[in-house]
Amino acid sequence: MHLIRGKSIEEISEQDLLSLIENKTPESKFIEYKLTLPGNSDKNKKEFLADVSSFSNAAGGHIIFGISAKGGIPQKLVGLENIDPDSEILRLDNILRDAIAPRLPGVGIKSIPLSNRGPAFINRIPRSWISPHMVIYGGSSKFYSRNSAGKYQLDVFELRTAFAATSVESNRIREFHINRIGKIVAGETPIAIEKGPRIVLHIIPLGVFESRINYDLTEMQLSENRQHLAPIDASYGSNFRFNFDGVLTFERPDHSKPATNYFQLFRNGIIESACTTLFTYRTDTPAIPSDGFEEELVKALSRYLSLYSELEVEPPVFIMLSLLGVSGFALPYKRNDYFDIQLNMIDRNDLIVPEIFVEDLSQPPEQIIRPAFDAVWNAAGLLNSPYYDSDGNWNTRRRG
């Protein structure tokens, strides 16, 4: 394994690149050296796209620009002269965005300042869990992967295998989700929680089972990290403890009773949070305060995406929302609608909302989770969430 694979792209420095030369780290399935950046000719762009997609369709890796090599062995860090780093990063990003399908998630490009010469560039390509990716530039429609000898074009049999592997992983995630929901319904939760209706949010990175990743969760116990660990309808990760699966936080206002909500972070990066507090029984018709429901889920998702950023969890991820035991609950438009005779009733006991597939975790959380909100409102008889305007802006204080 080469020396830069265990570092974030932001941590990689000139010294790391010099270490590749000192250690004579050869080109391999995981790393390739280039003297210059790809040019703007069709041939150069196709070569760049083939290189990047081949890493993504294999095990991921790095392309380093501004380093000379002989026989695959790095020789000298020469840098790249007379370039505007920001403009070049934007140019390369644009090439990748428009010419590979499906779009590559998680690719990073960074300029690395060098002593007494122009910068080097490093292009980090994570393994994709939605592969295979196809180069679609200039009439091309080719799939590439990599082995120890470099990139090569996939044949029909390899393509079938690649597509099947993606489907198998997606099915394993769905099976895990259904199994977890079954355990929650049966009361087999990380901490005993109140009986009755529950809102459950799962976030599951694609590839989590095949990759066998285990994150170091030691620093999660620090107070400055605990805001990321708050359950739904909470602001802080109280009652922190390590458990067999990872780390757990929960709220239990009355210590003689079960907890009201919890947050479970699994060591492989899966998040599960359950909540019993976003329900009201102020009238004969039990209800879910819809504005508070959406607000608390948006805040929770924002926390959990920030946590993924801290842990450097790579997208894409599945986001799965479930409402359990909610048959007969109304979904009033606003809190002061509790006594409105036109309350919309949820039409089934358990709402297992279709999963949301997210490739870009930097999107606003209220936009990411909108399809789930719309599905819940569908179950209550409305077309979609009333808290988004015609331009898609979300505001729980609006009235339509």
pLDDT at 69: 94
Q: Which of 125, 87, 103 is nearest to 9 (CA)?
A: 125
Q: How many CB atoms lie within 10 A of CB 101?
A: 12
Give the mean pLDDT of 375-387: 90
Report yes or no: 68 and 78 within 8 Å, Cβ to Cβ: yes
Q: In the predicted model, is pLDDT for residue 47 greater than 60?
A: yes
pLDDT at 38: 93
Q: In the predicted model, is pLDDT for residue 335 greater than 60?
A: no
- In SS3 terms, 197-262 reads as CEEEEEEEECCHHHHCCCCCCHHHHCHHHHHHHCCCCCCCCCCCEECCCEEEEEECCCCCCCECEE
pLDDT at 166: 66
Tell me, rounded to whole angstroms, the distance of Cα 299 from its chain centroid.
Answer: 16
| Band of residue 341 on the pLDDT scale cut at 50, 70, 90 | very low
CATH pick for 9-154 out of 3.90.230.10, 3.30.950.30, 3.40.50.620, 3.90.79.10: 3.30.950.30
The C-alpha atoms of residue 7 and residue 11 are separated, in whole angstroms, by 6
The C-alpha atoms of residue 279 and residue 57 are separated, in whole angstroms, by 45
| Band of residue 138 on the pLDDT scale cut at 50, 70, 90 | confident
Calculate Rg over the CA atoms of the chain.
25
E strand or H helix at 43: helix 42-57
Give the mean pLDDT of 8-20: 89
Give the mean pLDDT of 72-93: 92
Q: Where in the chain is the domain with CATH 3.30.950.30?
A: 9-154
The C-alpha atoms of residue 190 and residue 177 are separated, in whole angstroms, by 15
Q: Please tell me the total number of residues recorded for the chain in this structure.
A: 400
Q: For 301, phi and psi rounded to 5 degrees?
A: -60, -40
User: DSSP letters of 321-341?
Assistant: EEEES-TT-B--SSGGGTT-T
Give the mean pLDDT of 186-196: 94
Q: In the predicted model, is pLDDT for residue 255 greater than 70?
A: yes
pLDDT at 353: 94
Q: What is the DSSP code (8-state) at residue 287?
A: B
Report yes or no: 233 and 244 within 8 Å, Cβ to Cβ: no
Give the mean pLDDT of 278-300: 88
Give the mean pLDDT of 1-16: 76
pLDDT at 211: 66
The pTM for the full model equals 0.69
pLDDT at 396: 76
Q: 123 in helix, strand or coil?
A: strand
Give the mean pLDDT of 240-249: 96
Q: In the predicted model, is pLDDT for residue 60 greater than 80?
A: yes
Per-residue model confidence as pLDDT tens digits over 102-130: 888 778 899 999 998 889 999 999 887 77
pLDDT at 303: 97
Give the mean pLDDT of 222-240: 93
pLDDT at 137: 85
| Structure token pair of residue 227 | 């805001």
Give the mean pLDDT of 72-77: 93
